[in-house]
Structure 1
Amino acid sequence: MNVSKGFLLVLIAALLVLSAALVLPFMQYFLLAVLLAYVLAPLQHRLTDRTEPRIAAALLVLGATVAVIIPLVFVVRATAAEAMTLLDRLREGELTLDGFEAVIQRFTGVEIDLTAALRSALSEVGTEGVGSVVGIFGVLTHAAIGLGLTVFLLFYFLKDGDRFVDWLRRTTPLPEDVQDQLYEEIDGITGAVLAGHVLVAIIQGVLAGLGLFATAIPNAAFWTAVMIVLSLLPIVGSFLVWGPAVVYLVAIGQPIPAVLLFVYGTVVVGISDDYLRPVVVDRYAQLNPSVIIIGVLGGIYVIGFMGIFFGPIVIGALRATLDVFREQYGSPDGWR
């Protein structure tokens, strides 16, 4: 290796590190743009046959904003509003946990005043309201900038995506047939992981929503939509809604519907998450269910929310790369 080549490799490595550092603060929104671009790419190709790539990308970005980003913002805002309303009712004494406290005392023999403890905690939070408001404002500002970045990146990913892929193919030091096989494998895994997660989330959210309707939980339709989004999270998923709903039913003095909802959520909804997700993704992505769970949980810890999708994709891409390497260079003759 000569000095010029070594210098260029060092420079490339340094610039890659710096570029990653620049992307990290908005990694979630960058990956969201990548995900949406992957899903919308077939539509971009179809529209490009009838109009300019710039116009096609603009139409798709507008459609994605209306269909995905705006509903997501609405769900977050409405969920926060519902939570604040519930906390206000607890703080003002309109809603108590007497029923839940009675159940605890009946089974454990311990008398506990959860309502008073919760009100005390809420009052302590209120004394730190200025700091909380500043923190919330910072989070909302970051989210607004991130969503704007997502829309901006999505437009250019769609408009110039084919040019980027062509550049990547020319730059990657691999033969054309190897690149074709590698991209085909990764594309198949990515599509299967996305379809599997979305399908399971819809099924699990709807199943959990039926439980809310059956037990007459207020705003059941809205919370069903929230659970469909939350069901993208493995294990906890929809429990973040139907679990508090069980507590709510106990608090308002309806223990039998609370028990029925708890059993239904644990058995029916739980089975849909524990078994359906690995089975669906394993069938189409050809990845072991244990690998899917590790990819999802590890992806959440390392990447964040978007790790739900990209964690299994990264592990699947590793497997696909190893398969391609074995097929192309598995023999000693292929090492030359």
Structure 2
Amino acid sequence: MDITRGVLIALALVLLGLSVAFVAPFLQFFLLAVLLAYLLEPAQRRLTPRIGARVAASLLVLVATLALLIPLVVVGQVVVSEGLSLVRQVRQGDITLAQAEQVIYGVTGLRVDIAGTLQSALSDGGTQAFGSLLGAFGAVTHLFVGLGLTVFLLYYFLKDGTAFMAWLRRTLPLPDHVQNELYAALDDIMWAVLAGHVFVAVVQGVLAGIGLFVVGIPSALFWTAVMVVLSLLPIVGSFLVWGPAVLFLIANDQLLPAVFLLFWGSVIVGLSDNYLRPIVVDRYAQVSPAVIVLGLVGGITVMGIMGLFFGPIVIGALRATLDVFRDEYRSPPGT
């Protein structure tokens, strides 16, 4: 390796490290812009020949902002309000779990103080969470700056996405057919995770939430939002909420609602997972539940909330890359 090449590689690595450091404070919003750009890219590609890349990108950014941000703010406000109301009721002792504690004692023989434990945890957590008004103001400021950055990046990702992919193809030291295989595999993984797991998780969580609304579980919208997130976990998913809700109804002598919720969760919600997930996932790529769970847990730890989407994608992309490498560069038989 000559000196010029070594200097250029070293300079590229230093600049790459600095670029990562610059992006890191707003990683969540950067990844959100990437995710939205990927989802909107087909529409951008169809609109560009008709109205131009700039107008198409502006229109899609506006539509995405109105379609996602406004419902998210409204639902988020209600969820936070219900969550705070639930916390306040537990703190004040308005929600009593004495009957549930008696059921646990009758089954296991153990005395537990669920309400006392929750009150203590919420009291300690509340003191730490709301102890600094300045910290809260800084978090809100960071949120608004990040959302503005997301909108800005989304516009340029859409407008210049085709040019960026062309530059990437020219820059990467890989033959065109290898890049085609790699991009196709990555595209399958992206859609398998987004359509086959995220979309199904939303459907599952909403269906389970309908059951909570019907039987009159307190703060049902809050628990629906929780179940949407939990439904990303295969097998257990929303059961972690509606299962205890059935026990809660039994403990409060509401046997008919408990039976209905048990039937709704086991049959209706269960069928949505057993039938909808394979139909959607099989259209794109087979992604093991182990990849999903590992990607979710590791992704949230490393990336935060966006790890729910990108964690499984990263691990799935590793498998896709290794598959392309095996098919392209494995030694022929007999060598």
Range into which the TM-score falls when normalised by the shorter chain: 0.7 to 0.9
Query: Match for residue 59 of structure 2?
Result: 59
Query: Match for residue 194 of structure 2?
Result: 194
SS of alignment partner, residue 197 of structure 2: helix
Query: Match for residue 144 of structure 1?
Result: 144
Q: In the TM superposition, what whole-angstrom CA distance separates every residue of 1:219-243 from its partner, at most 9, and x where no partner exists?
A: 6567546644553455665356546
Distance in 1 (alpha carbons) for counterparts of 2:25 and 2:182: 30
How far is 1:161 from its partner? 0.7
* Alignment of 1:321 onto 2:321: yes
How far is 1:184 from its partner? 1.9
Structure 1 residues 178-187 or 279-288, which shifts more? 279-288
How far is 1:208 from its partner? 0.8
User: Which residue identity does 2:31 align to in structure 1?
Assistant: L
Distance in 2 (alpha carbons) for counterparts of 1:282 and 1:288: 12
Contact 1:99/1:251, CA 8 A, preserved across alignment: yes
Contact 1:209/1:227, CA 8 A, preserved across alignment: yes
Contact 2:250/2:258, CA 8 A, preserved across alignment: yes
Query: Match for residue 299 of structure 1?
Result: 299
Distance in 2 (alpha carbons) for counterparts of 1:202 and 1:114: 30
Q: In the TM superposition, what whole-angstrom CA distance separates every residue of 1:258-292 from its partner, at most 9, and x where no partner exists?
A: 57646754786468668965785366313334333
Distance in 1 (alpha carbons) for counterparts of 2:48 and 2:263: 51
Contact 1:233/1:308, CA 8 A, preserved across alignment: no
Distance in 1 (alpha carbons) for counterparts of 2:298 and 2:274: 17
Query: Match for residue 72 of structure 2?
Result: 72
Identical-pair percentage: 60
Distance in 1 (alpha carbons) for counterparts of 2:219 and 2:127: 31
What is the TM-score when the length of structure 2 is the normalising length?
0.82
Structure 2 gaps of 5+ residues are none
What is the TM-score when the length of structure 1 is the normalising length?
0.82
Distance in 2 (alpha carbons) for counterparts of 1:310 and 1:93: 40
Query: Match for residue 20 of structure 1?
Result: 20
Structure 2 CA distance for partners of 1:149 and 1:51, relative to 1, 3 Å: same
Computed over aligned residues only, the root mean square deviation of the Cα atoms, in angstroms, reads: 3.4
Distance in 1 (alpha carbons) for counterparts of 2:17 and 2:264: 49
Query: Match for residue 164 of structure 1?
Result: 164
Distance in 2 (alpha carbons) for counterparts of 1:314 and 1:124: 36
Q: In the TM superposition, what whole-angstrom CA distance separates every residue of 1:171-193 from its partner, at most 9, and x where no partner exists?
A: 11122222222222222221222
Map 1:213-292 → 2, pairs under 5 A: 213-217=213-217, 220=220, 224=224, 227-228=227-228, 231-232=231-232, 237-238=237-238, 241-242=241-242, 245-246=245-246, 249=249, 254=254, 257-258=257-258, 261=261, 265=265, 269=269, 277=277, 280-281=280-281, 284-292=284-292
How far is 1:9 from its partner? 0.6
Distance in 1 (alpha carbons) for counterparts of 2:24 and 2:175: 32
Contact 2:83/2:222, CA 8 A, preserved across alignment: no
Distance in 2 (alpha carbons) for counterparts of 1:135 and 1:246: 39
Query: Match for residue 153 of structure 2?
Result: 153
Structure 2 CA distance for partners of 1:225 and 1:297, relative to 1, 3 Å: closer
Map 1:25-174 → 2, pairs under 5 A: 25-109=25-109, 113-116=113-116, 118-119=118-119, 122=122, 131=131, 133-174=133-174
Runs of 4+ aligned residues of structure 1 deviating over 6 Å after TM superposition are none
Distance in 2 (alpha carbons) for counterparts of 1:74 and 1:230: 21
Across the two proteins, how many residue pairs are aligned to each other? 333
User: Which residue identity does 1:99 align to in structure 2?
Assistant: Q
Query: Match for residue 309 of structure 1?
Result: 309
How far is 1:293 from its partner? 3.1
Distance in 1 (alpha carbons) for counterparts of 2:156 and 2:65: 15
